[in-house]
Amino acid sequence: GAVVSQHPSRVICKSGTSVKIECRSLDFQATTMFWYRQFPKQSLMLMATSNEGSKATYEQGVEKDKFLINHASLTLSTLTVTSAHPEDSSFYICSARGVRGTDTQYFGPGTRLTVL
Amino acid sequence: AQKVTQAQTEISVVEKEDVTLDCVYETRDTTYYLFWYKQPPSGELVFLIRRNSFDEQNEISGRYSWNFQKSTSSFNFTITASQVVDSAVYFCALSETGTASKLTFGTGTRLQVTL
């Protein structure tokens, strides 16, 4: 149980294009999903928290117009990196928390984004 | 504000050795959760354990054990008889109530187990 998937696992795009990353909870309903960014050999940095049906809450310093988050259902959240630039290249990981109130976050396998 | 410190950046051990990964945390809350996650080279974070602040019992799961000591604000993780498959980055994390379950991660400890 508590499986979270992410798609795609890897994406390479040209500078200026937009990239959408999907995060799905496969066997549970997730009231809250989180998006993290991880640079090589560093820890995870929380970008935003999204609750189903409402606007995402972004952490300080994260541009909401650049990183669009949508949490349209209890099993799906998407992160769109708009007008991507090479500095957006990173490892993006989502996590999901279930409806039963447990504070445990289950993580997806991550998406490696490379912007050329 | 909450903070998690993992002072050991990298540890290298030979297979079958025991190894302890340290985690020290800071919080002003009386109710909080502590976690350990494993991140193998593939990148996915694997949940290992969650402990709430009211439960100081140590826990053992196979070769893994955890020592939670509120008096020293520590939540250390020991791997007994380490194996090559244990090679990964291990993150300790803290979640306070009232923060929508946001996790504060430590900087991670890279464990290398060699033959």
CA distance A116 to chain B (A): 22
Task: From B15, B13, B21, B2, select the one nearest B109 (Cα to Cα).
Answer: B21
pLDDT digits (tens, 9 = 90+) for B10-40: 999 999 999 999 999 999 988 899 999 999 9
Q: Are residues B45 and A34, on separate chains, in Cβ contact within 8 Å?
A: no
Nearest to B33 by CA among B5, B64, B54: B54
Alpha carbon A40 to its chain centroid, in Å, reads: 17
Q: How large is the average pLDDT for residues B72-95?
A: 96
What confidence category does residue A102 fall into, taking pLDDT thresholds of 50, 70 and 90? Answer: low
Residues of B in contact with A42 (CB under 8 A): 107
User: Which of chain B's residues have a Cβ under 8 Å away from the Cβ of A46?
Assistant: 102-103
Q: Which of A93, A97, A102 sits opposite B45 (nearest CB)?
A: A93
State the average pLDDT over residues B38-57.
91
With the C-alpha atoms ordered A54, A34, B101, B25, is the resulting torsion angle positive or negative?
Answer: negative
Segment (H or E) for B20: strand B19-21
Give the nearest partner residue to B101 out of A2, A41, A97, using CB atoms. Answer: A97
pLDDT confidence bin for B114, thresholds 50/70/90: very high
DSSP for B42-106, please give it: T---EEEEEEETT----EEETTEEEEEEGGGTEEEEEESS--GGG-EEEEEEEEETTTTT-EEE-
Contacts with A100 (C-beta within 8 Å, 6 or more apart), sequence order: none
Q: What does the pLDDT average to over B26-55?
A: 92
With pLDDT > 90 as the criterion, what percentage of chain B qualifies?
A: 75
Query: How confident is residue A30, by pLDDT bands cut at 50, 70 and 90?
Result: confident
Question: What pLDDT is attached to residue A53?
Answer: 81
Q: Which chain B residues have a beta carbon less than 8 Å from that of A97?
A: 101
Per-residue pLDDT band at B58 (split at 50, 70, 90): confident
pLDDT of A46 over the 70 cut: yes
Averaged pLDDT score across all residues of chain A: 91
Choose from A44, A47, A95 for mutation: most chain B CBs within 10 A: A44
Is a pLDDT exceeding 80 seen at residue A62?
A: yes
* Binary contact (A43, B108; C-beta < 8 A): yes
| Beta-bridge partners for B79 | B19, B64
What per-residue confidence (pLDDT) applies to A2? 84
Residues A93, B91: C-beta atoms closer than 8 Å: no
Distance CA B94, CA B35 (A): 6
pLDDT of residue B82: 97
Cβ atoms of B25 and B94 within 8 Å: the answer is yes
Asked if pLDDT for residue A99 goes beyond 70, the answer is: no
Per residue in B61-82, pLDDT (tens digit) is: 999 999 999 999 999 999 999 9
Contact B4, B93 (CB under 8 A): yes
